[in-house]
Each structure stands twice: as C-alpha cells, then as structure tokens.
Structure 1
Amino acid sequence: MIKSINFPSLKNALITIFFIGILFFNFVNSAWAKRPPEIRNQQDLDLEEDMHGQDLSGNEFVKFNLNGFDFSQSNLEGAVFNNSKLQNATMTGANLSDALAYATDFTDADLSDVNFTNALLMESNFEGAKIDGADFTNAVLSRIQQKELCEIANGTNSSTGESTEYSLGC
C-alpha cells in the first residue's frame, strides 16, 4: 500500500526553507552591498604592513598572510578575511561590522575595541588574542568560541558603548 504524503507538513517545510533562504540572501546582500571590485589574491592589492586608518570596506583578503599588519582604526566593514592569517596583527578600534572572517587566524592579535557587530567568525582562532572592549553583538561564533572568549572578555567598546561580556552573551 502506498502512503500518502501529508501536504500541510510539506507545505510548512517549503515555507520554512523559503524564509531561511530570504534571511541568508539579506545577510549576504547587506554584507556586500558597498563592495568594490573583488580582489582575487594578495598581489592584486598593494598592501603595506601599516594600513592604519584606511578605508578598506568591502575588500577581500581571502587566504592572505597578514601576520603583524596594522589595521588599527581602519574601516573594514563588510570585508572578507576567509582563511587569512592575522597572527600578531593590530586591529585596535577597527570596524569589522558585517565582515566575513571564516576560519581566520587571529592568534595573538590585538582586537581591542574592534566592532565585530554582525560579523561571521565561525572556525576562527582567537588563541592569545586581546579582546578588551571588542563588540561581538550578533556576531556568528560557535559555542566553543563563545565560551573561550567569555573567559577573557572585559571592557566596553568606545564606539558602540557595548560591553564585551554582554555582546558575547556571557
């Protein structure tokens, strides 16, 4: 005997998938709305170790080796750092809202007072990083990352006024 499909539950599942797709599209679209032409590799961008105070919003730094770079006070809104190395980087006071930093290595980086609002930070490494005053409001982190960051969280972000502990949900 052939079982009939329960159409109301199938309809609900399709509606749920549709709305999740819309939410994902809106997140990606808002993160890349102001994006300049894509930078495919490190040679396409004339980078210097001192990028202090620069407007680099929307730039791609995919698989870049940025060890020791100074991005302090830079506008990196909507920037992409996927699989990049930012060990020992100085990013004090930088704006990384809506940034994508999937599997990025922030080992021993100074992330003090960074605005990570709405940033995607899954699988990134924050070992030894300084996060005093960083704002992680609505940032996407794994539960393990969140717990590790809560252990060292303190301070308040100077531009957003948000406590690091509160923004992490500690």
Structure 2
Amino acid sequence: MARRTTAPSRPGGQAPFWLISLLTLALALPLGWLVPSPALAAVDVAKQVLIGADYHGQDLRGGTFNLTNLRDADLSGSDLQGASLFGAKLQDADLSNTNLREATLDSAVFNGTDLTNAVLEDAFAFNTKFTDVIIDGADFTNVPLRGDALKALCAVAGGTNPVTGRRTRDTLGCS
C-alpha cells in the first residue's frame, strides 16, 4: 500500500483550523496603540482660588471647577461642554461666546457675569443665582431654572444666539 505524502484536501478549500484560530486571535487583540490618546486630560481645579484667571478660548470640556472662585476670570470663547461648575463663584467673570452645553451650574453664583452669546443648552442650573448678568444672545434651551431666576433673566433677556439662531427670550420661555 502506498503512503500519502500530502495532507488530505479540505472540503471547500478551507484553511487549516490553526490558521483560523491565529487570525481570530490577531483580530481580537486591542488596537489601542493605533488610536492617539488625547493630549490633555480634563482640567480639575476644584476648590481653588483662581481670581482673574485667563482661560479664554480653551478646550475645557468635562473640566471640574466645583466650588472654585473664578471672580473676574476670562473664560470667553471657551468650550466648557459637560464641565462642572457646581457652586463656583463667577462674579464679574467673562463667559461670553462660551459653550456651556450640558454643564453643571447648580449652586453657582453669576453676579455681574457676561454670558453674551453663550450656549447653555441642556445645562443644569436650577439653584443657580443670576444677578446683574448680561445675557444678550444667550441660549437657555432646556435649562431648568427656579421661578425667581427665570423672572430676573426674562427682565434683561434680548438678542439672538449666533450659533443656534435662537432668541434668548424664546429659550427662556419669557412671555
């Protein structure tokens, strides 16, 4: 009887099991080394005194400014989407042209704060104090506010937000 010197052929020309296993393993390995990591982690300056700090035009998405004193700070043109400013003191701060979408502003103090053309869509600001603020062109879409804060904001509301195209009074639901 003659001996075979070649491997038996597989039905349908399938690859050997060990090759399929190797390819499956290679595809299952994490590819994290191919994806670049972010240059900077979200800023965390909770409970700091940052009077007069200059953060204008910066990417501060997801940053933490809880209980931070930001009096006279310049945050104009910054991206603060998803940032937490819980209990922050923002007296006379410049937040004009900022993206505050989905930010936590609860218990923050906005006294003399400039929010011109800021987008606060879906921010949480129920217990936020607004006194002598400038809100021309600010967008408050879906922002929960206490009745007294809403009344004070409607008294000074005007303009249309250049990013969203929404009138400030409409976003506040002013009558």
Normalising by structure 2, report the TM-score.
0.72
Aligned partners of 2:145, 2:52: CA distance in 1, in Å? 29
The secondary structure found in structure 1 opposite 2:111 is coil
**What is the RMSD of the two structures over their aligned residues, measured on CA atoms?**
2.0
- Partner residue, 2:162: 158
> How do residues 57-76 of structure 1 correspond to structure 2 at under 5 angstroms?
57-76=61-80
User: What percent of counterpart residues are identical?
Assistant: 38
State the 1:41 CA deviation: 2.9
Aligned partners of 2:45, 2:78: CA distance in 1, in Å? 21
Q: Can you give the 5+ residue segments of structure 1 that lack an aligned partner in the other structure?
A: 1-35
State the 1:49 CA deviation: 1.3
Question: 70-79 or 140-149, which moves further after superposition?
Answer: 140-149
Q: 1:81 and 2:101 equivalent?
A: no
2:46 corresponds to which of 33, 41, 47: 41
The secondary structure found in structure 2 opposite 1:102 is coil
Runs of 4+ aligned structure 1 residues displaced above 6 Å come to none
**CA-to-aligned-CA distance 1:87-127 (integer Å, 9 cap, x gap):** 00001100000000111011001110000000001111110
Normalising by structure 1, report the TM-score.
0.74
Does the C-alpha gap of structure 1 residues 137 and 112 become closer, same or farther in structure 2, counting only changes over 3 Å?
Answer: same
2:101 corresponds to which of 89, 92, 97: 97
2:125 corresponds to which of 121, 124, 135: 121
Higher radius of gyration, 1 or 2: 2
Aligned partners of 1:99, 1:59: CA distance in 2, in Å? 9
**CA-to-aligned-CA distance 1:122-147 (integer Å, 9 cap, x gap):** 11111011000000000111122111
Aligned partners of 2:115, 2:42: CA distance in 1, in Å? 27
The secondary structure found in structure 2 opposite 1:106 is strand
**CA-to-aligned-CA distance 1:48-88 (integer Å, 9 cap, x gap):** 71111000000010000000000000000000000110000
Aligned partners of 1:104, 1:124: CA distance in 2, in Å? 5
- Partner residue, 1:14: none
- Counterpart of 2:169, as a letter, is E
Q: Can you give the 5+ residue segments of structure 2 that lack an aligned partner in the other structure?
A: 1-40
Native 8 Å contact 2:51 2:72 kept in 1 = no
- Partner residue, 1:23: none
- Partner residue, 2:58: 54
1:138 corresponds to which of 136, 142, 162: 142
- Counterpart of 1:164, as a letter, is T
State the 1:39 CA deviation: 2.6
Aligned partners of 1:128, 1:48: CA distance in 2, in Å? 19
Aligned partners of 1:126, 1:152: CA distance in 2, in Å? 11
